[in-house]
Structure 1
Amino acid sequence: MIDIHKLKAFIAVVEESNISHAAVRLNMQQPPLTRIIKGLEEDLNAELLVRLPRGVEVTEAGKALYQEALTILAHAQAIPKRVQNISQGLEGQINIGFTNSVGLHSFLPALLRNFREAFPRVSIHLEEDGSSSLIDSIINEKNDIIFLRKPAPKGLGLTSLHVLDEPLIVALPNNHPLVEHEEVIQLLDLEPYDFVLYRRLAGQDLFDNILASCYQAGFSPKIVQEAPRLTSSLNLIAAGIGLSIVPEAIRDFWNKQIVYKPLKADTACIAPIYAVYKEHIGNVRLEHVLDLLSSHIH
């Protein structure tokens, strides 16, 4: 293994084309520098320099070593700064997970955009999945932070931070009888009608939230179709198969053949969003995300 100090000495000799001048540049005596060069040649079993009456000339092997030495030194000089950046959370990777319905809310892309602007050298890995899988990913430290529609279960050592409450609204086929209803629809008024819902396996938190709102209003929804994704349920609604209760942000993604109306009930119809994470000593990138997230919490 070649000592980095020997490489620095060799670079000086090559660039000065003279051992005496290189010794002055390195603030050392000529004999020790000469021994270093000879030692390099012995280590590599190659002639690196040709001694001339007034200086030295680099051999082909010496030129190859010179280029490699420059690369090694540049990398070595960059190590302290990179280590410092990592320790300060200015480089590395942050892993963020979210459910499908959370990913449709504008707060998430705004958070990601602000993070990229503040920490451009930190890469962001995103993962969309169901809430159970995402919670496992936090426990197993695959993700640093996840966004769900309900707090994490207690007893798992996870922190749940309430980010916002998103209103739930009703999505109706444009030929539905309730389209002509007054602007705000009472949740109980939906009882007679067929429902299309986002499949529970894929969106457990939102599914359970909607059912809980209906139960609290005094009825159990008649579900005639479940969709694999929240956005795909809109196709079924537009086809007239049924109505649905959706987060307010969904209205920005589809308005053809669908009419959206606000909901009202004795208990507020909302779909909250929570940030869930595990407390980590030294996870500075997570701390940066949480600092930015605080600006979205009112």
Structure 2
Amino acid sequence: MLESRHLYLDPLVAVLPANHPVLQCLTDGAGLPTATLAREPFILFAQSAHSGIQEQIYALCHDAGFSPHIVQEAHEASTITGLVAAGLGVSILPASCEHFRVENVRYMPLDTSAAVSEIHVVYHRTEHSPLVGKLVRLLKTTRTQPNPVRGR
């Protein structure tokens, strides 16, 4: 049996090319309405990547009144970010992906409280290694919330 422990909530953010026109229309501190991405080409995780956020992204888009037009899929968040930087489209990723620090990319918070991803650690319940317990405790104490994204 597997055991799952909730670690923190990671906000989902829009990932845009730095020169995207919608960025000129936002005021500081304003979240990006998901509906502004309705006509954009999307780069998302491939279904085979099993990232766990595909359904959340589809739900966010549906709630905003559209289905994402997917032009490219990738297995890694770093690849998705690189494709956005190259101008192939936009994406929605967890805010923790901001650490990639790719030039010509902006991470913008979305304007809905539904844009979050739950982060869990999963391990075998029957695991008796003291290292597993130490790792779980370390993860719970050192990372309760990621740094908030401020449109970088």
Residues 285/251 of structure 1: CA separation in 2 closer, same or farther (3 Å cut): closer
Is 1:168 aligned to 2:12, yes or no? yes
State the 1:245 CA deviation. 0.7
1:219 & 1:235 partners in 2: Cα distance? 25
Match of 1:214 among 61, 80, 84: 61
Letter in 2 for 1:178: V
Q: CA deviation at 1:281?
A: 6.5
Written as runs of structure 1 = structure 2, the 5 A alignment for 1:43-62 is none
- Flag structure 1 segments of 5+ consecutive residues without an equivalent: 1-156
Instruction: Note the C-alpha offset of 1:195.
Output: 0.8
Q: Does the 8 Å CA contact 1:197/1:223 hold for their aligned counterparts?
A: yes
What residue number does 1:268 align with?
A: 114
Counterpart Cα distance in 1 of 2:130 and 2:140: 15
TM-score by length of 1: 0.43
Distance 1:224 1:296, change over 3 A: same
- In structure 2, what residue type is equivalent to 1:169? V
8 A contact 1:196–1:236 mirrored in 2: yes
Q: Which amino acid aligns with 1:283?
A: S
SS in 1 for 2:110: strand
Contact 1:234 1:254 in 2 (8 A): no
Of residues 227, 230, 234, the one that matches 2:77 is 230
5+ long unaligned stretches in structure 2: 145-152
Name the CA shift for 1:217/1:161 in 2 (closer, same or farther; >3 Å). farther
**Percent identity for Structure 1 against Structure 2:** 32
Q: RCO higher in 1 or 2 (8 Å CA, sep ≥ 6)?
A: 2
1:179 partnered with 2:2 = no
Which is richer in strand?
2
Cα distance in 1, alignment partners of residues 82 and 71 from structure 2: 14
Asked if 2 retains the 8 angstrom alpha-carbon contact of 1:163 and 1:296, the reply is no
RMSD: 2.0
Contact kept? 1:198, 1:228, Cα under 8 Å:
yes
Cα separation, 2, equivalents of 1:167 and 1:207: 14
2:82, 2:102 within 8 Å by CA — same for their partners in 1?
no
2:23 corresponds to which letter in structure 1?
V
The 3 A distance-change label for structure 1 pair 230 and 242 is: same
Structure 1 residues 216, 161: closer, same or farther in 2, change over 3 A? farther
Aligned to 1:90: none
Counterpart selection for 2:47 from 185, 189, 200: 200
1:188–1:219 CA contact under 8 A, matched in 2: yes
Corresponding residue to 2:123 among 277, 281, 287: 277
For residues 158-205 of structure 1, give each alpha carbon's deviation from its aligned partner in whole angstroms, at most 9, with x where no partner exists.
221111111111111123221212142111221121111122211431
* Higher fraction of helix: 1
Distance 1:281 1:223 in 2: 40
Residue 246 (1) aligns with residue 90 (2): no
